[in-house]
Each structure stands twice: as C-alpha cells, then as structure tokens.
A and B are shown apart, each in its own frame.
Chain A
Amino acid sequence: MAPFDIATHWGTWAENLSYLGFGFAFGFILERAGFGSSRKLVAQFYLRDMTVLKVMFTAIVVALVLNFWASGLQWLDFSRVFVNPTFLGSGILGGLLLGMGFIIGGFCPGTALVGAGTLKLDGMYFLGGVLLGSFIFGETAPLYWAFLEQSGSLGRFTLADWLHLEPGVVVLLVVLLALAMFIAAEKLEAWAQARAAGSNAPGVQQ
C-alpha cells in the first residue's frame, strides 16, 4: 500500500531519480501551460487571463480526487502522507507577502525557475531575488522564530478536521467550488477583455 518508501526498497538513487522525474514533468507542464511568461502569470491579477487559476485549481482537484479515491480503495494510507502542519498567523502573513511578490515580480518561485529555464531574463532576476530573500530569511529567522512556530499552530489540520465532515464530502465540496470558480473565471475574463477593448476603442478617452 502506498506511500512507498522508495529509498528503503530501491535505494537512494531511485529516490533521487524519482525526484528528478517528477520535477522534470512538473516543470515541463508548467512551461507548456505558459507559466514561464510573467505577462501571462500577472494577467490573472488584472482578470484578463485566468489560466493560472484554472490550471492550478484543476491540478489540485484532480490530485484531491485521485488521492482520496486511492485512500478509499485502500491503495494509499493517507495517514502516512505528510501534510504540512498549519500555522495560521505565519501562513496568512507569508501568503500576503508571496502574493505581493507575485504581483510585483510577475513570478512565484516555481514559475521563476520555469522562466529561467527558458532563459527569460525577468525569471533569472526574480530567481536571484528569491535566493537573496531566502538567505536573508535564513539569517534573521531566529529573531521571529517564536511567531513562525507558534502563531496559530494547529499541527496536521485538514479541511475535513475543520468542517467535521467526511473527507469524501469535503472533496465533493471543493470540486463544486472549483467548478463554480472556473465558470466565474470565464465570465470575469470576458468582462475584463470587453472592458479593455472598449477603453482601447477609437474615440475613447484614456
């Protein structure tokens, strides 16, 4: 039953090869989805192109459904799957900072790597910023470690724990939410594009 301990069964090399394979596939798909372009990525914040939301949310719900079907059929022991512990305070602050960085810089760390991989200068600069920021964070972390470690620490905390619902029901709710967001995203895109076209029409004051 999954998850499999690849290193124990097949050795560290096999484990490293699996990282390489999944990393390559992930990067390849991100690049093919157009996530190496900061213009495309940032367009979502201006509602002109919601590809990022659609691709990411599709990946999330597909993985969610497959994981919990595998768990439901006892092919996967979900209790042994590592779930990032929840730290509400630092999570919210970090999310805000990441969002600001995403809007200003045009990338998030993963897509910056994709952009740098296709030799885009803005991706490389952003990656440099990520490395510098990581270094500064690492050097100054002890100053605010108590906040990071203790602000809203909930341990392994999932939506099912929060809502007190069966995981299958939570999956259904998330899928419904995703579908609603896809429909809303399409409408927002059409509205934003029509607005942009109207403002660019001859005779319209800028």
Chain B
Amino acid sequence: MNRFELYGAALLLSAALGLAWHGQPSAQDRLARQAPRLDERLASEEVRIDPGELYDLMGNEQLPLALLDLRSEADYNLFHLRGAQRVELAQLGQPWVRELPSATVIVVMSNDEQAAEVGFKLLAAQGLLNAYLLGGGINFWLDVYRDGQLGAALPARGTGDDTLRQRFSTALGAGQPATHPDPLHPLKRACTAKVKAAAAAKRPSGGCG
C-alpha cells in the first residue's frame, strides 16, 4: 500500500467511526428539523381533509387507506371509524409506518385536531408523502354524520381541546351508527378534495457497472 492509499483508508475509517458514533436521526430529530416547513403546511390547510372527503375515500375500494386513531383506548372503544387502527403517538415514530405501501393514504385523527397535528408532523417528517389529518376530528365527524349536520362548516383550525364531546350509552366502537359510508344511502357533503395519492418514485434498478 502506498501513502495515498493509506491516507484514503484512514479517512474512510475515520468517517465510518464518526458515523457510528453520530448515529441516524430519530423521528423526533427529523420532526424538530422540519417543524417550520410542516407548520407551514398545516397553516395552509392543504393536509386538513374534510369529513366529507374522508367519507368518500372510505367508500373507494381501489384506494389503499390507513386510518390511524390517536385517541385514548376509552374513546376509541366508545366510537371509532370502521377500519381505524388505534395507535399511540410514539408508535408513529417507529419503522412500521414506513413499511406501509408507498401509495397508501394515511389519515390521522383525534377528537379535535391537537394530537392529530402532532401525528401528521411525525409522519410527514419521515417522508410519508400521503399523510393527512381529519379536519375537525371525530367530534366534527359525529356532528356531520351522527347528528346529520351535513351542511355544517368545517371548524377553524385549533378549535376544541381534543376531548370527546358527544355521549354514548354503549361502547360499540365501529358498531355505532355513522362509522362508515352506507353504500346504499351515501350521504353527500360538499367539500374541497385535497388528497393527492402520490406514490414514491420507483427508479429502475441498476446493473453491476
């Protein structure tokens, strides 16, 4: 080995040692770095979808859809949308979310929007292109589809303290009425569609060189 090769090897080894010490960013690190950009996206409301749009998406069998419910187990047991999976906020920083098919539309929800906004940011910070949150949360969904206020305006962002406002006599979860679209009697609600199902670019594979 000549001197040049030795310097190169030493440089590579130092860089690798430094990398092993430095580590890779956690979901929280990514979130902290991207917070300003994600706050801008939230403020623009481009990722805040109306219950009417989610209602339509749930009825679309061609679309891979993941509904992530960030509420307490008690609230989830009382009422949740059909197909919704209850997850803790901390779980959104774990690898399983990145293993969802790339075209899956992910909608996070809480009773209002506080937890859902944090959940959205955790997902988006990990590069998930199709993360959205349910505007108005479960409370507004219930106003629209349980109480029949189909024409009600989407509440302003930040409304509510993320507690479940409606009362239920039984904990039937997705067995309650108004948990999913009724294909025979669909309820139409005027809203602006915001979901753009983007698939991560798949590059052609390379050869040996």
Contacts and interface: CB of A to CB of B under 8 A. Distances in A.
Interface of A: 1, 5, 26, 30, 35, 56, 58-59, 61-62, 65, 68-69, 71-72, 74, 77-80, 82, 84, 98, 108-111, 155-156, 166-169, 171-172, 174-176, 178-179, 182-183, 186
B102 to A, nearest CB: 9
Contact of B20 (A26, A82, A166): A166
B4 to A, nearest CB: 12
B20 A172 contact: yes
A62 B12 contact: yes
A82 B205 CA distance: 9
Nearest to A66: B15
B207 A108 contact: yes
Nearest to A82: B203
Nearest to B125: A77
B24 interface: yes
18 contacts: A26-B209, A58-B8, A61-B12, A65-B19, A69-B15, A69-B19, A71-B24, A72-B19, A74-B30, A77-B127, A84-B205, A98-B208, A111-B209, A166-B23, A168-B20, A168-B22, A175-B15, A176-B13
Contacts of A65: 12, 15-16, 19
Interface string B8-41: 1100110111111111110001100110000000
A82 B1 CA distance: 36
B23 A110 contact: no
Q: Is the interface of B mostly helix, strand, loop or mixed?
A: helix
Contacts of A62: 12
A68 to B, nearest CB: 6
A160 to B, nearest CB: 9
Contact of B98 (A79, A98, A111): A79
Contacts of B201: 5, 82
Interface residues of B, number: 34
Given A61-B12, A74-B29, A84-B205, 19 more contacts: A30-B209, A58-B8, A59-B209, A71-B24, A78-B24, A80-B200, A82-B201, A82-B203, A109-B208, A110-B207, A110-B208, A156-B99, A168-B21, A172-B20, A175-B16, A178-B12, A179-B12, A182-B1, A183-B1
A58 B20 CA distance: 19
Nearest to A108: B208
Contacts of B167: none
Interface of B: 1, 5, 8-9, 12-13, 15-25, 29-30, 33-34, 98-99, 126-127, 200-203, 205-209
A30 B209 CA distance: 8
Contacts of A182: 1, 5, 9
A110 B18 CA distance: 33
A168 B24 contact: yes
A172 B29 contact: no
A74 B25 contact: yes
Given A172-B17, A172-B19, A175-B12, A72 B25 contact: yes
B47 to A, nearest CB: 18
Nearest to B34: A1
A161 B151 CA distance: 49
A80 B199 CA distance: 11
A96 to B, nearest CB: 13
A78 B202 CA distance: 14
